[in-house]
Structure 1
């Protein structure tokens, strides 16, 4: 990845398109699980989403492997896809973008109040 790809995000676009092609080859139930995994993992993204690329690649690989082995999504992921995604992102209590924004807002408010009160 070169500087220009990093700035424009063209590398991410290429990877996401590759994910889409791979996901379209999955059976319908695995495709539905893939959509849910993506939706639940977005909350753990950083500003660009680059931190999710290896996680999503591994999750898609798991779905591809289980599909090839003839296993159902339920056998592999169970009923708790949000829990599965939380575990992939670092376990329960992993910081989401909302947590980071909330902390930043709290720091900014405290700083502003400190200036006004002092």
Structure 2
């Protein structure tokens, strides 16, 4: 990955376009599942979304293999896509970017208040 691509995010744009092109080749029910997977995983993204790229690539690969094998979406993902996505990002209670930002803000405020009170 080149420095400029990392800074501008053009590498991510290219990867997302490739993901969407791959998803377009899926049957309709798999495309709908893909959209749900993306929606459930986005809250776990960091500021750029780079941390989700390998997870989304693996999930899309799973959908592609299952579609090629003729399996139904329910056979592959189960009835609860949210639970499937939760397992992908580290299980129940996995921290989202909002959680990390909240913790950082709380630390910063506590540090500032400590300076004022001391």
Corresponding residue of 2:110 = 110
Corresponding residue of 2:58 = 58
Corresponding residue of 1:24 = 24
Unaligned runs of 5+ in 2: none
Could you tell me the TM-score, scaled by structure 1's length? 0.95
1-structure distance, mates of 2:8, 2:43: 22
What are the residue-to-residue correspondences of 1:1-118 with 2, within 5 Å?
1-118=1-118
Task: Give the superposition deviation at 1:9.
Answer: 0.7
2-structure distance, mates of 1:116, 1:4: 42
- Runs of 4+ with >2 A deviation: none
Q: How many residues align?
A: 118
1-structure distance, mates of 2:3, 2:116: 42
Output one character per residue of 1:74-98: Cα deviation in whole Å (capped at 9) or x when no partner.
1111121111111111122211111
Could you tell me the TM-score, scaled by structure 2's length? 0.95
Task: Give the superposition deviation at 1:116.
Answer: 2.1
2-structure distance, mates of 1:85, 1:113: 38
Unaligned runs of 5+ in 1: none
2-structure distance, mates of 1:45, 1:103: 16
